[in-house]
Structure formats: C-alpha cells, structure tokens
Amino acid sequence: MIQSTMQDFPLSITSLFQHGRRIHADSQVITWTEDGPKTATFAEVADRADQLAAALSRLGIGAGDRVGTFCWNNQHHLEAYLAVPCMGAVLHTLNIRLFPEQLAYVINHAEDKVIIVDGSLIPLLAKVAHELTTVEHIIVVGEGDGAQLGDTLDYEELLAAEQPGFSYPEVDERAAAAMCYTSGTTGNPKGVAYSHRSTYLHSFGIASAQAMAFSQHDRLLLIVPMFHANAWGMPYAGWSVGADLVMPQQFLQAGPLAEIIELTRPTYSGAVPTVLNDILHNRPDADLGSLRQIVCGGSAVPRSLIEGFDETFGVPVVQAWGMTETSPLAAIAHVPRGTAAANAMEWRVRTGRPMPGVEIRICDEAGAELPWDGQAQGEIEIRGPWITGSYYLEPTDEKFHDGWLRTGDVGTMEPNGFIQISDRAKDVIKSGGEWISSVDLENTLMGHPDVREAAVVGIPDDRWDERPLACVVPAEGKVPDPADLRAYLEDKVAKWWLPERWATIEEVPKTSVGKFDKKVLRRRYADGELEVTECD
C-alpha cells in the first residue's frame, strides 16, 4: 500500500459545530412556544452550548459519561445536542413516550449520570424517578414542579454561572457521541451508540443532493422528535450547512403545525405518515406552499398520502427508509433519471434506493443472497459507516450476518436498486406457504375514501396456516362495508390476498414511536375482543 499524504483529521461533531457557529452565525433556531416563536441565532445557541458544557463539567461530567435528555424539539435540546458530544460525553436522547418500566430500564442500562428535562415533562419522568440507580443530577428547563423529582437544578441558573468559550477536547472519531434505544416492541429496548464519525458521515450523506439537498437557503421544520433517531439526523446536518431550524415542541397536531408552517415558512420537513395524514385530513386548507419537499418514512408511505399532498398542497412527499440502527437514513425514493413524468409515481410509492455509502442486499432464510429481480423476497441486510455493528452491552449475534445488520424487514429489490419493503419479518402473513404483504394491503385500503387507517395482521387458519384479517378505522362520518372494500381491492392485489375477515376498529394501536403495533391487534383477536365480519 502506498501511504496517502492526507491529514488524519478526526470526523467529529465538534468540527460540524464550530463550522456552523462561525460560518453561519446568523442562521436561526426558532422554537414554537405558547406565546409564539422564540428566535436565537446560531452564534447565540453556540455560546449557550459552551455554557452548558462548562456547567456539566462543573457537575463532574467527563469523557464518556452519559447525559440524558427528556425534551421536546426545542432550542435547549439542540444546545445539549451540541455541548454533550463535543465535550466528550455521550448524549442519550430519551423517548418521552416509552412505558415507565422501559424508560427506567434504558436510563439505568445506559447509566445516565445527568438528565435534562423539560418542565412540562416532569410528571412523566417523576413516574420513574425513584427507580433510577445512576442519575446524580436532574436539570429542569423552564417552569414545572421539580419537587416531584427530589432535588433538581435549574438549567438557566447553571448557564448563567458560566461564560461562552468552552475549551473542547479533541475527541476520538470512533468514540460514542450519542445513544438512542430502539422502541423495544419485542423484549427490552436495545441501545445503539452513534460515533462522532458515523454522525459526521450521516450528516454529509443526508445533506447531499442524493438525499435532502440541504443548504443555507433552507429552513428545516423538525417534526420528527429529537429523541427518535436524532430527528433523522436533521439537527446536525442542518446546523452544519447553516439551514434555519424550526422546533415545534409539543405543538404537533395538524392545527398548530399548519400555523407554524404558515408563519415560519419552512422549506423542508420530515415526518411519519400519521402526522402528514393528520394534516391532509384535518387542514386541507393550510398553505404549505413554502415547503419544497417533505421526507416521509418510519412506516410505509401510502400512495393516497403522496397523491393527496401533490393535489392538495402541491408539495412533493419523498419516501425514505431507515431505522434507529441505521442513523437512520439508509434509502430514499428519488425518481430514477429518464423516468417519464407519467411513470414517476410507480417509483415514488416504493421504499427507496440505497444512499451512497451504504450497501444493501436481500437474503433468504438460509442466508443466501437473492437476486435483484423485483421478484425474490427476503430479509433486507445492510452495512456501512453509519450502520450499527452491535447493540450497546447486549449480545445479539442473531441480528448480524457476516458483518451485515439484519434489519428484520422483508422485501424485494429491483435491478436498479429500488427496495420494496413488504413487511417486518415479525408481521409477515404466510398463507399456504406464500407471503402476503400486509403493507401492500394496508396502503391499498388506505386509498379507499371510507378508510382513515388500516392494519392487516395474520391470524391462524386451519387450511392455509394463516390468513389476513383487515382492521379498518373508518374515515370521519363513514361506515365502510367489507364487501365494498374487498371489491375495491380486487383489481389491485392478487386474488388470494383478499381478506375474508374484517373488523372495524376505532384506532390502530401504536408503539411509542407511532408505528402500527400489530401484536396488540393479534392479541385482541386471540382474546375475542374484535368483532369480526366474514366476507368472501
């Protein structure tokens, strides 16, 4: 090997941080509050991050110590995003929607020493306060009854005692910078520890034109929580290019979001389908015209949603795929070049093509690689510099295959690399030895005007082993008729996929990160709690 002459300069969040503060000092962070928007410049936020780093050092936080955040998307959460990794500690973003026992588990498992909590979230953290074994200090931001948490410190008082100009250490690019636990739909949540290097590369990846094409001319509305896979990486990527960051805090319903968009005029956003559906159904009159694109993922994006946003708002929704373990962005559904406009939707409704930098393959149950022919179905496996190689202090060999992460997602790949996820491995429906895609059935059903949401689960069947049960949430004021819905599906999916069993439900049960929780539906069915109509 011939040695290169290049500098071995560490890929660190610190370098992104210092770049954003100097080069884009005037870019803005806008936090939505009950009294409207509160704005600070990057220069001001960076100074406050310095003060936070100094305050945490004074509290004894040093290299590798975990600092938890229990916060909405807001300015001080961003301050922690910047200060904690850059001072050499590890930011542990806590999911405020975890069940209390899981919340206590992840704090204790990560051995958080400090937790920064929003005043409005104190009651949620208080539920587990007595179970925390490693936490030495709780820092409260804003108003709230801190007494429920025992002795607490005040965020603003801590900052006020410090000066900007913290001297950040040189960090090892492979050291952990931030941690996030998966939602643990099966078993305990598992921790993923992102490095400086992985975060740096992921930031460049998502900001590139291959993905979201961020620049200083953008204003990003961060709807995805900063406690869920780092808000899909947007805070770091946006900061590094000088894009304004709009933080909606708890104002995440259709009405407030429409108002935030109309007033702050963001150019880009990312959200899960449920949030976008909510806006489409409840605020079709909103002016979303400032948005040049919205990236949507976390679950399959229904065609009706993409078309609805095109037609109602004139805003393109671009599907993306990833998971906590993949930082999270791994694939994005930009239309391949040369596609006629009339055919673009055929690609837009698919899951996406791999980002440059990550490699994706599909494997059968024996672990053999399958062809990219759009037909062969198998488990998606992935590797790359921002894909986790293990779980934090958790032996999980079965999740890896020759150095590739087994994603638990099942799908096909086209010759041009387009992935189509048909199911999560744990939700697949195997009827007569063949897979039925619950995701396809759901997305097609959600295109029917009488259907608000649909979840399809496999239930035991004497003849076919499993058959699909379609659980349907009616659209406002509608009473969907199973015979109609079945007829609607007839020319859209294979005949043997058509569900014979139907149930109307009020709401699809969701996990702490808002995904369809199908195990709850399967249990309800098994317990006889669902009223099932037969129709064939």
Residues that bind ligand ADP (CB under 6 A): 182-183, 185, 229, 297-301, 319, 321, 323-324, 351, 407-409, 421, 424, 513, 515
- Is 351 noted as a catalytic residue in this protein? no
Query: What is the closest distance, in whole angstroms, from the C-beta atom of residue 78 to ligand ADP in the complex?
Result: 21
DSSP codes of every residue in 397-411: GGGEETTEEEEEEEE
**Closest CB to ligand ADP among residues 195, 327:** 327
Distance (Å, rounded) from C-alpha 259 to C-alpha 288? 10
Pairing of strands 153-154, 501-504: unpaired
d(CA 501, CA 519): 17
Amino acid at 374: G
Q: In this structure, what are the phi and psi dihedrals at residue 467, rounded to the nearest 5 degrees?
A: -135, 155
CB of 93 to ligand ADP, least distance (A): 12
The closest alpha carbon to 117, from 88, 87, 137, 97, belongs to 137
Nearer to ligand ADP, 4 or 186 (CB): 186
- Select 286 or 405, whichever has its Cβ closest to ligand ADP: 405
Residue 230 or 264: the one with the smaller Cβ distance to ligand ADP is 230
Q: How far is CA 209 from CA 9, 204, 206, 212, 356, in A?
A: 24, 10, 8, 6, 11
* Spatial contact of 230 and 180, defined as CB atoms under 8 Å apart: yes
Nearer to ligand ADP, 90 or 382 (CB): 382
- Our answer to whether residue 534 is catalytic in this structure is no
CB 236 to ligand ADP: min, Å = 18
399 given a catalytic annotation: no
Give yes or no: 430 in active site: yes
- Spatial CA neighbour of 200 closest among 446, 9, 430: 9
**Active-site residue, selected from the candidate residues 262, 274, 399, 435:** 435
The least CB distance from residue 121 to ligand ADP, in Å, is 20
Spatial CB neighbours of 413, under 8 Å, sequence gap ≥ 6: 360, 361, 362, 370, 372, 373, 374, 419, 420
- Give the nearer residue to ligand ADP in terms of CB position, either 242 or 302: 302
Tell me which H or E stretch contains 311: helix 303-313
To ligand ADP, the closest distance from the beta carbon of 189 in angstroms equals 8
Answer positive or negative: Cα dihedral of 516, 520, 525, 529. Answer: negative
| Structure-block tokens of residue 451 | 């259907």
Query: Please, how many CA atoms are within 13 Å of residue 30, restricted to the half-sphere of its CB?
Result: 22
How many other β-carbons are positioned within 10 Å of the β-carbon of residue 111? 15
Which residue's CB is nearer to ligand ADP, number 102 or number 324? 324
Indicate which residue of 79, 162, 173, 325 is catalytic: 325
Nearer to ligand ADP, 90 or 332 (CB): 332
**Which one, 49 or 276, has the nearer CB to ligand ADP?**
276
Least distance from C-beta 234 to ligand ADP, angstroms?
Answer: 14
- Minimum gap (Å) between residue 186 Cβ and ligand ADP: 10
Please list, residue by residue across 231-266, b when 16 or more beta carbons sit within 10 angstroms of its beta carbon and e when fewer do.
bbbbbbbbbbbbbbbbbbbbbbebeebbbbbeebbb
430, 490, 496, 529: which one is catalytic? 430
CB of 88 to ligand ADP, least distance (A): 27
Q: Which residue is nearest to ligand ADP (CB)?
A: 323
Question: Exactly one of 14, 182, 264, 444 is catalytic; which is it?
Answer: 182
Query: Half-sphere exposure of residue 152, counting CA atoms within 13 Å on the CB side?
Result: 25
Distance CA 273, CA 182 (A): 19
- Extract the tokens encoding 163: 């000066």
Q: Specify the residue, 247 or 439, whose C-beta has the smaller distance to ligand ADP.
A: 439
Q: What's the token pair of residue 237?
A: 């990527």
Query: Cα–Cα–Cα angle for 357, 232, 158, nearest 5°?
Result: 125
Residues in the chain: 536
Omega within 30 of 0 (cis) for the link into 385: no
To ligand ADP, the closest distance from the beta carbon of 439 in angstroms equals 6
Q: Considering the complex, what minimum distance in angstroms separates the CB of residue 178 from ligand ADP?
A: 15
- Find, among 432, 423, 420, the residue nearest to 464 by Cα: 432
Structure tokens at 392: 């934090």
Please tell me the distance from the alpha carbon of residue 226 to that of residue 448, in angstroms, as a whole number: 33
Active site residues: 182, 325, 430, 435
